[in-house]
Amino acid sequence: MTVATEPIVVHSIIGGKQVLTEKRYTRENPANLKEVAGYAPVNTKEEAIEAIEAAYHAFGTWKWVPVEERIERMRRAIAKVKAAMPELTRLLSLEHGKPLYDAEGEFAVSLMWMEFACDNAKEVLQEEVKEHEKGKTIITHDPIGVVSAITPWNYPISLSTIKIAPALLAGNTMVLKPSPFAPLAVSKVVEIISSEFPPGVLNLVHGEADVGVELTSNPKVAKIAFTGGTKTAKSIMKAASETIKKMTLELGGNDAAIILKSFDVNDERAMRRLVISNFLTAGQICMIAKRVYVHRSIYEAFVTKYIDAANKWIRVGSPFNPNVTIGPVNNAGQVKYVQSLIDDAKSRGAEVIKLGKVIDPDINDQGNFMQPTLVLGCDYNDPIVVEEQFGPTVPILPFDDEEQVIALHNESIYGLTSSVWGKEEDAVRIARRIEAGTTMINTAAVQGLDVRFPFGGVKQSGVGREYGVEGMLTYTETHVINIPTMLELPYIPE
Ligand code: NAD
C-alpha cells in the first residue's frame, strides 16, 4: 500500500519570519524509499546566530508578559494544533514510518502535557512570600533566558512540545532544532505555536553539526534542553561548558523488564502489554524495554507464551494500513545498526526467532522494513544485551534470584526506565533497589508514562527531569529576596 502525495516543503522561523534555504534536506518516505515525503531547510551557522539574536531580543519583553497572557496564547496554540491533527498525524506517519494510531498517540500525549502545563503554570510559577522570625523572604521563579531545544527523530512532536510549553509559559524564549530524520510535522506544529506568540519568542532552525554547535555554545543561550543520544550529549556538555549553561539532558537507555516467578504466563493481557513495551514504534523509543530477564523457573513457559502473544500483535506493513501495528524503521542507518547487533548475537551462538507477520509483503522491499525478532541464548554481556538497540529486536534471558537480576539491571551505564512484572509487593520491593528514573509495575514504556510526574534518567541516561511540576521548574531560576529585620550580624565588630 503506497500513499502518493505531493512532497511538502517546510521552512525555518527566525524572528517571526519564514525562511527557506537553497540547500535542503530531502526526507524520504521510509515505507517507500522512492517517494519523497518532503523537504526541510538546511540552515547555516549564521542563520542559527540570527535565530539566537531574535530570541535574545524577544526575551527582553517576553519575560515581563503576565503569566495569564502566556497561558492564554498557549491555549490558543493547543486548539489550533488539535484542529490540524488529522493532517499532522498523517504527515508524521508518512515521514517517520510509525503507523497512524501511533502518530495519533504521540499527538495525544503532547496535547495532554501542554494542557497540564497550562493548567498548572500559574500555581507553579507563583512567587512565595514567607514571613518568619528573621523577617520576610520572597521566592520568585524567574525565566532563564534563551533556551536551545534540540530533539531526536523518534518522537519529534512530544519531545519538542515537552520543552516548548514549560519554557514559554515560564517566560523564556526558544530556538528549536529538530532532527533531519523527521523534520516535517514538527515544523508545522512549531509554525502553528509560534504564530500565537510575539516574533522571536519561538524560533525554528534546521541543520547539521555547525548549527548544533552554535546552539550549544553561543554565549547568549542560557539553557540547553536536549533529547538524543548519550554520545551527542557528551559533545554538547563540552560545547556548553565554556559559558556554564543550564542543561536538561534526556538520553539513551537500556531499559530492562524483570519478570518474577510470581508473573502469570497465562495472563494474555499482561503478555500483550509486554510485547507492546518491546516493539511499539518498531522499538525506537528511549523507554522501550530493551532486555527482558525472566525467572528461570518460568523461563520455558514464558518464552512459548511470549511468542504466541507477539505473533498475534505484531503485524508489519504500511503505516497507513489500519491493521498494521509496526511500520518501517525510520532510517537506513538504524536498520544497519540493529541488524549488526542481531548478526553479532547469531555469530556468538544465539537463536534468532522471527515474530509476527508481514501483512503488506508487496512493500517490503520498498522501504526500511525489519521483521521483529526475539533473541535467545545470549550471554549477559553480549552487545545486543548491553547496548541500546533502538529497533525491533529484543533479547530474553533467564535469571536465578533477585540479587542476581538487580545486579544485572544496575550494572548498566544507563538508567532511564525499567519495569518489574509479577505480584505487586515483590515487584515494588525490587523496584526500590533499581537504579532508574522511572520503574513501572506490570506495564512498561509509554503505557506506564504519566505526564503529571517527573520523567528522566539516572547515570548516563540524563541530567534533570521533564514532565510534572519538576519538569516545569527546570525552565526557571529560583530568586530569593531576603528582607531581614536584623540587618547587621551581632558578631561582626564595629
Ligand atoms: P542524536 O543524538 O543523533 O541526535 C539528536 C539531535 O541532536 C538531532 O537533532 C541532531 O541533529 C542533533 N545533533 C547531532 N550532533 C549534534 C551536536 N554536535 N551538537 C548539537 N546537536 C547535535 O539522536 P537520535 O539518533 O536523533 O535519537 C536517538 C537517541 O535519542 C537514542 O539514543 C534515544 O534513546 C534517545 N532518546 C532519548 C529520549 C529520552 O527522553 N531520554 C527520548 C527519545 C530519544
Q: Provide the pLDDT for residue 362.
A: 76
Q: Is any atom of ligand 1 closer than 6 Å to the C-beta of 47?
A: no
Q: Is any atom of ligand 1 closer than 6 Å to the C-beta of 415?
A: no
Q: Is any atom of ligand 1 closer than 6 Å to the C-beta of 471?
A: no
DSSP letter (8 states) at residue 205 = -
How many secondary structure helices (H) and strands (E) does the chain include? 15, 23
Distance from Cα 252 to the centre of ligand 1, integer Å: 9
Q: Is any atom of ligand 1 closer than 6 Å to the C-beta of 236?
A: yes
> Cell 525491533 maps to which residue?
392
CA-nearest residue, atom 39 of ligand 1: 250
Residue 28 has pLDDT above 80, yes or no: yes
What predicted TM-score, i.e. pTM, was given to this entire model? 0.97
Q: Is any atom of ligand 1 closer than 6 Å to the C-beta of 38?
A: no
Residue 250 alpha carbon, nearest atom of ligand 1: 41
Cβ neighbours of residue 224 closer than 8 Å, sequence gap 6 or more:
147, 148, 150, 215, 216, 236, 240, 245, 246, 247, 248, 249
Residue 309 has pLDDT above 60, yes or no: yes
Whether 259 contacts 74, CB under 8 Å: no
Question: How many whole angstroms separate alpha carbon 101 and alpha carbon 279?
Answer: 14
Q: Is any atom of ligand 1 closer than 6 Å to the C-beta of 299?
A: no
Q: Provide the pLDDT for residue 360.
A: 87
Q: Got the DSSP string for 35-52?
A: EEEEEEE---HHHHHHHH
Domains and CATH numbers, the chain: 8-251+457-480 (3.40.605.10), 256-448 (3.40.309.10)
184-194 vs 67-83: helix crossing angle, rounded to 10: 140
Given 250, 268, 402, 466, the catalytic residue: 250
Q: Provide the pLDDT for residue 405.
A: 98
> Cell 524503521 maps to which residue?
329
Which of 154, 210, 242 has most ligand 1 atoms within 8 Å of its beta carbon, as the pocket-test mutant? 154
Q: How confident is the model at residue 279 (pLDDT cuts 50, 70, 90)?
A: very high
Cβ neighbours of residue 355 closer than 8 Å, sequence gap 6 or more:
279, 307, 310, 311, 314, 371, 372, 373, 374
> Cell 554538547 maps to which residue?
236
Q: Is the dihedral of CA 44, 47, 49, 51 positive or negative?
A: negative
Which of 328-342, 348-362, 403-417 is least confident? 348-362
Q: How confident is the model at residue 2 (pLDDT cuts 50, 70, 90)?
A: very low
Question: How many whole angstroms separate alpha carbon 478 and alpha carbon 156?
Answer: 30
DSSP letter (8 states) at residue 448 = G
Question: CA–CA distance from 132 to each of 128, 381, 470, 486, 490 (Å)?
Answer: 13, 57, 26, 12, 19
Which of 12, 25, 206, 232 has most ligand 1 atoms within 8 Å of its beta carbon, as the pocket-test mutant? 232
Distance from Cα 303 to the centre of ligand 1, integer Å: 33
- Looking only at the bridges linking them, the beta strands covering 32-41 and 24-29 are antiparallel
Quick: pLDDT tens for 194-210: 999 999 999 999 998 89
Question: How many whole angstroms separate alpha carbon 250 and alpha carbon 140?
Answer: 26
Quick: pLDDT tens for 237-261: 999 999 999 999 999 999 999 999 9
Q: In what order do the strands lie in the sheet with 393-399?
A: 351-354, 373-376, 393-399, 291-295, 256-259, 417-421, 438-441
Quick: pLDDT tens for 450-481: 999 999 999 999 999 999 999 999 999 999 99
Question: How many whole angstroms separate alpha carbon 91 and alpha carbon 184?
Answer: 7
Q: 461-493 burial string, b = 16+ CB within 10 Å, else e?
A: bbbbbbbbbebbbbbbeeeeeeeeeeeeeeeee
Q: Provide the pLDDT for residue 1.
A: 46
Q: In what order do the strands lie in the sheet with 32-41?
A: 8-9, 32-41, 24-29
What's the mean pLDDT in 437-449? 97
Active site residue 250: yes
Residue 3 has pLDDT above 90, yes or no: no
> Nearest Cα to 282, choosing from 333, 317, 235?
317
Question: How many whole angstroms separate alpha carbon 259 and alpha carbon 422?
Answer: 6
